[in-house]
């Protein structure tokens, strides 16, 4: 069974900082990996999907990288804003099974 | 597209009562997933369907839980009888691709918050 770990569990930064969220997984035989954002009391919103053949994906200020062999992915957020405050979850996908990490709770202070 | 639609958004019930949660996936999506989220255990996969067929229900916690997908546009998750420890947010998600596909972006509904007293 896939085990997913996200570090740090919580992060508080001042507005404008660049930051990196880390995700590691135990089973590297994945088809893809997805990063999500969850606001309090809300559902999950897909941010980026990285296919197993890709090494990174970019969307605006977000960049996600994937290293399958080492079982790691990072989400880079540039020039953070208070609106980025949320919980970020990574989810590697294999064998029609998508497992989630516990998430990183990000607070961006104005 | 309206996205994944779940109902009810909130449900408060008493222990022992039957609870039915409903989900309408995005039109054209082949796969449907039910997740449960709690503070203690995070997001847990309960069951997923592909082309309306249950593929893996190993995450269903007990026989009190059952899920059905009678057609491509509707699924239910039923708890009977409900217990206080079932209190959680239940999410439904759908994906446009089927078994073993090398894509599989997942789209989530807003969730159904269940409180069992």
Q: Give the residue from B114, B117, B116 showing the smallest Cα distance to B9.
A: B114
Q: Give the residue from B104, B103, B32 showing the smallest Cα distance to B70.
A: B32
Asked if A39 and A32 count as a contact pair (C-beta separation under 8 A), the reply is: no
With CB atoms and an 8 Å threshold, state whether B55 touches A96.
yes
Who's near B70: CB < 8 A, 6+ residues apart?
B52
Residues of chain B with pLDDT > 90, as a percent, come to 74
Structure confidence at residue B99 as a pLDDT band (50, 70, 90): low
B102 to chain A, minimum CA–CA distance in Å? 5
pLDDT tops 90 at residue A107: yes
Structure confidence at residue B89 as a pLDDT band (50, 70, 90): very high
User: Residues of A with CB below 8 A from B55's CB?
Assistant: 96
Predicted confidence at residue A98, as pLDDT, reads 82
pLDDT tops 70 at residue A78: yes
Minimum Cα–Cα distance from B49: chain A residue: A96
Who's near B66: CB < 8 A, 6+ residues apart?
B60, B77, B78, B80
Q: Is B5 on the interface with A (CB under 8 A)?
A: no
With CB atoms and an 8 Å threshold, state whether A96 touches B100.
yes
Predicted confidence at residue B101, as pLDDT, reads 60
Query: What are the tokens at B48?
Result: 């997923």
With CB atoms and an 8 Å threshold, state whether B106 touches A91.
yes
Query: What are the tokens at B77?
Result: 């998750």
């Amino acid at each position: 069974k896939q085990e997913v770990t996200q570090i740090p569990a919580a992060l508080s930064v001042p507005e404008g900082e660049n930051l990196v969220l880390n995700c590691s997984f135990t089973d590297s035989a994945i088809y893809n990996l997805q990063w999500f954002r969850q606001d309090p009391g809300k559902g999950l919103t897909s941010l980026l999907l990285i296919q197993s053949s890709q090494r990174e994906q970019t969307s605006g200020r977000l960049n996600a990288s994937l290293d399958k062999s080492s079982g790691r992915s990072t989400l880079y957020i540039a020039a953070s804003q208070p609106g980025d405050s949320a919980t970020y979850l990574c989810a590697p996908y294999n064998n029609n099974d998508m497992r989630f990490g516990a998430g990183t709770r990000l607070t961006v202070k104005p | 597209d309206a996205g994944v639609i779940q109902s009810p958004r909130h449900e408060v019930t008493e222990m022992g009562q039957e609870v039915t949660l409903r989900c309408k996936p995005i039109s054209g999506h082949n796969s449907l997933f039910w997740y449960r989220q709690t503070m203690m255990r995070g997001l847990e996969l309960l069951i997923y369907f592909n082309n309306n067929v249950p593929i893996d229900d190993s995450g269903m916690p007990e026989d009190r839980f059952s899920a059905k997908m009678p057609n491509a546009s509707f699924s239910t998750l039923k708890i009977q009888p409900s217990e206080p420890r079932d209190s959680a947010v239940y999410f439904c998600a759908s994906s446009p691709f089927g078994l073993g596909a090398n894509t599989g972006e997942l789209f989530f509904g807003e969730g159904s918050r269940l409180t069992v007293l």
